[in-house]
């Protein structure tokens, strides 16, 4: 195992001594170290620290040998509960937390065999057919718990390239005390994704931005740092910078291990954009999960590869690809990855391999796997598959799994063109096509967003 540093420096010691006097539980510190540590509750409600840093747990709990010995006999809800409990402390009573966990993961996470050495952990059996359902369902239930008895509404503001928005909208629908405002780039999300965002109504509002995903993201970031706006509204983020969305993404790594039949631990290939998913996997690993190695599988957006090769992290403008949920040029969780490895480049490189898979190679992979193994990947899973296939080519004695992060039907226009075949629409989303889209069109300017938010209050 890679050693991880003790997270206590002078700054933390000071605050911890103040706060810990009455509370015996985990705190989260800001990676920028300019604002005080907070509990899970505060981190979930505010999203980002006042100093604009991401919150990070002061410790990574180590799961007992007994936990791993009994893993196979535990239910999904039990695993989720035991994994997350140390992070939550007593900010949510144990019984409520258990219910939240059970509801969060009440769908399947099957591990399917593709070849002798490559498996696929299907994370798309949730209500919006993407892995983000797990984080969004957990987060929405936590915020709902925290908003009970609270007069001030929480407004969740989220920029999406497709999957985040639909998972968050679905997770927060009808949650009392919480309003959701979603910004998505007009014409740049798939048909199903748009319907998932724009047909719910009630406490969910969709803003259709005449710009790119990067425009949406920067408008949201500006909103969080706008003083007058934050005086009027209690704003929070539902992107993976929020610990309530990030931490539960560990759960399914344990479900993969439950189903893993081989003696030696798996190599896990994670299709990565903002690096929230892989950082959650790393938490599971540091908690003791038997994982051999990680692959951060990226498309042509290559900032992680650059870091591995050149030891420097240089954010770039994102380029558009067919795996568009990973078109990220400045991954927000990269700072968490560095924190996990105490900025030790050598240790990062030992534990995580990099790869960049082009659109052409992704399409070839989708076609090859479909023809040879009758398994249909979508573009993000294809990036992970290609990364793993190349890695196993160099390490022939190992076996691994990919995280298949979305259902192919969410990217049906791309996938159908590659396989020259049609994909059946799952029953669970067929009703969407009968619903009417409702969105408010705005220009990609912060002022328009601000005026919109204030006008509703």
Binding ligand PLP by CB under 6 A: which of 193, 199, 272, 299?
272
| Residues 223-242: x where in contact with ligand PLP by CB under 6 A, - otherwise, as a string | -----------------x--
Q: Which stretch binds ligand PLP (CB under 6 A): 2-10, 26-34, 271-279, 307-315?
A: 271-279
Q: Tell me which residues in 402-421 interact with ligand PLP (CB under 6 A).
A: 405-406
Closer CB to ligand PLP, 38 or 406, in the complex = 406
- Apex 263 CA angle, 261 and 266, nearest 5: 75
Closer CB to ligand PLP, 105 or 325, in the complex = 325
Report, in Å, the least distance between residue 146 CB and ligand PLP. Answer: 24
Q: Which stretch binds ligand PLP (CB under 6 A): 33-41, 113-121, 266-274, 281-289?
A: 266-274
> Could you say whether residue 57 binds ligand PLP (CB under 6 A)?
no
Q: Tell me which residues in 336-375 interact with ligand PLP (CB under 6 A).
A: none
Q: Which stretch binds ligand PLP (CB under 6 A): 12-20, 86-94, 250-258, 268-276?
A: 268-276
Q: Which stretch binds ligand PLP (CB under 6 A): 90-98, 212-220, 274-282, 418-426?
A: 274-282
How many CB atoms are closer than 10 A to CB 344? Answer: 15
Q: What are phi and psi of 399, to 5 degrees?
A: -130, 160
Closest CA to 182 of 167, 172, 197: 197
Binding ligand PLP by CB under 6 A: which of 47, 273, 281, 408?
273
Closer CB to ligand PLP, 37 or 408, in the complex = 408
> Could you say whether residue 252 binds ligand PLP (CB under 6 A)?
no
- Apex 44 CA angle, 43 and 47, nearest 5: 70
Q: What are phi and psi of 393, to 5 degrees?
A: -60, -35
Closer CB to ligand PLP, 274 or 389, in the complex = 274
Q: Which stretch binds ligand PLP (CB under 6 A): 177-185, 212-220, 267-275, 301-309?
A: 267-275
Distance CA 4, CA 344 (A): 10
Distance CA 249, CA 9 (A): 28
Binding ligand PLP by CB under 6 A: which of 276, 281, 400, 408?
276
Closest CA to 279 of 223, 221, 331: 331
> Could you say whether residue 380 binds ligand PLP (CB under 6 A)?
yes
Size of the site for ligand PLP (CB under 6 A): 16
Report, in Å, the least distance between residue 160 CB and ligand PLP. Answer: 9
Distance CA 13, CA 7 (A): 10
Handedness of CA 360, 361, 366, 370 (dihedral sign): positive
DSSP string, 331-400: -TTHHHHHHHTTT-HHHHHHHEEEEE--HHHHHHHHHHHHHHH-----HHHHHHHHHHHHHHHH-TT--E
Q: What are phi and psi of 206, to 5 degrees?
A: -105, 125
| Residues 87-126: x where in contact with ligand PLP by CB under 6 A, - otherwise, as a string | ----------------------------------------
First and final C-alpha spacing in the chain: 51
22, 187, 454 from 318: Cα distances, Å = 46, 17, 31
Closer CB to ligand PLP, 75 or 417, in the complex = 417
Distance CA 390, CA 403 (A): 16
Q: Checking phi first, is residue 187 left (phi over 0); if not, alpha (psi -120 to 50) or beta?
A: left
Report, in Å, the least distance between residue 90 CB and ligand PLP. Answer: 29
Report, in Å, the least distance between residue 106 CB and ligand PLP. Answer: 20
| Residues 145-164: x where in contact with ligand PLP by CB under 6 A, - otherwise, as a string | ------------------x-
> Could you say whether residue 326 binds ligand PLP (CB under 6 A)?
yes
Helices 412-419/191-198 angle, 10° precision: 160
> Could you say whether residue 275 binds ligand PLP (CB under 6 A)?
yes
> Could you say whether residue 387 binds ligand PLP (CB under 6 A)?
no
Identify the burial level of 384 via C-beta atoms within 10 angstroms of its C-beta, where 0-12 means exposed, 13-18 middle and 19 or more buried. buried
Report, in Å, the least distance between residue 238 CB and ligand PLP. Answer: 12
Helices (H) and strands (E) in the chain, counts: 21, 13
Report, in Å, the least distance between residue 137 CB and ligand PLP. Answer: 15
Residues binding ligand PLP (CB under 6 A): 130, 132, 163, 240, 271-277, 325-326, 380, 405-406
């Amino acid at each position: 195992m890679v050693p991880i540093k003790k997270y206590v420096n002078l700054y933390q010691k000071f605050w911890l001594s103040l706060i810990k006097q009455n509370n015996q539980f985990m705190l989260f510190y800001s990676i920028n170290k300019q604002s005080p540590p907070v509990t899970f509750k505060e981190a979930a409600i505010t999203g980002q620290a006042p100093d604009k840093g991401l919150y990070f747990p002061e410790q990574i709990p180590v799961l007992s040998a007994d936990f791993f010995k009994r893993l196979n006999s535990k239910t999904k809800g039990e695993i989720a509960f035991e994994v997350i409990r140390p992070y939550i402390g007593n900010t949510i009573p144990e019984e409520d937390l258990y219910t939240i966990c059970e509801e969060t993961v009440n769908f399947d996470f099957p591990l399917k065999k593709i070849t002798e050495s490559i498996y696929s952990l299907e994370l798309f059996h949730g209500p919006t057919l993407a892995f983000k359902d797990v984080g969004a369902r957990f987060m929405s239930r936590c915020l709902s718990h925290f908003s009970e008895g609270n007069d001030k509404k929480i407004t969740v503001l989220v920029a999406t390239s497709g999957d985040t928005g639909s998972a968050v909208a679905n997770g927060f629908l009808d949650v009392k005390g919480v309003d959701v405002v979603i910004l998505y780039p007009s014409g740049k999300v798939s048909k199903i994704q748009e319907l998932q965002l724009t047909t719910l109504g009630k406490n969910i509002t969709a803003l259709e931005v005449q710009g790119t995903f990067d425009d949406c993201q920067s408008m949201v970031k500006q909103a969080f740092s706008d003083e007058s706006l934050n005086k009027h509204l209690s704003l929070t983020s539902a992107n993976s910078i929020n610990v309530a969305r990030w931490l539960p993404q560990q759960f399914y790594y344990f479900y993969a291990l439950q189903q893993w039949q081989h003696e030696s631990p798996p190599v896990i290939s994670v299709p990565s954009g903002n690096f929230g998913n892989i950082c959650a996997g790393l938490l599971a690993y540091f908690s003791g999960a038997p994982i051999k190695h990680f692959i951060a599988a990226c498309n042509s957006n290559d900032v992680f590869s650059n870091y591995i090769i050149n030891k420097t992290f240089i954010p770039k403008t994102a380029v558009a690809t067919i795996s568009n949920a990973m078109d990220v040029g400045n991954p927000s969780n990269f700072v968490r990855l560095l924190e996990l490895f105490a900025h030790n480049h050598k240790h990062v490189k030992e534990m995580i391999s990099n790869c960049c898979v082009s659109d052409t190679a992704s399409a070839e992979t989708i076609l090859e796997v479909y023809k040879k193994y009758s398994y249909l990947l979508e573009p993000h899973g294809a990036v992970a598959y290609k990364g793993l296939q190349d890695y196993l080519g160099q390490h022939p004695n190992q076996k691994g799994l990919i995280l298949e992060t979305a259902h192919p039907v969410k990217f049906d226009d791309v996938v159908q063109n590659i396989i020259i075949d049609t994909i059946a629409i799952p029953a669970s989303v067929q009703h969407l096509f009968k619903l009417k889209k409702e969105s408010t069109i705005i220009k990609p300017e912060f002022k328009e967003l601000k005026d919109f938010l204030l006008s509703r209050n």
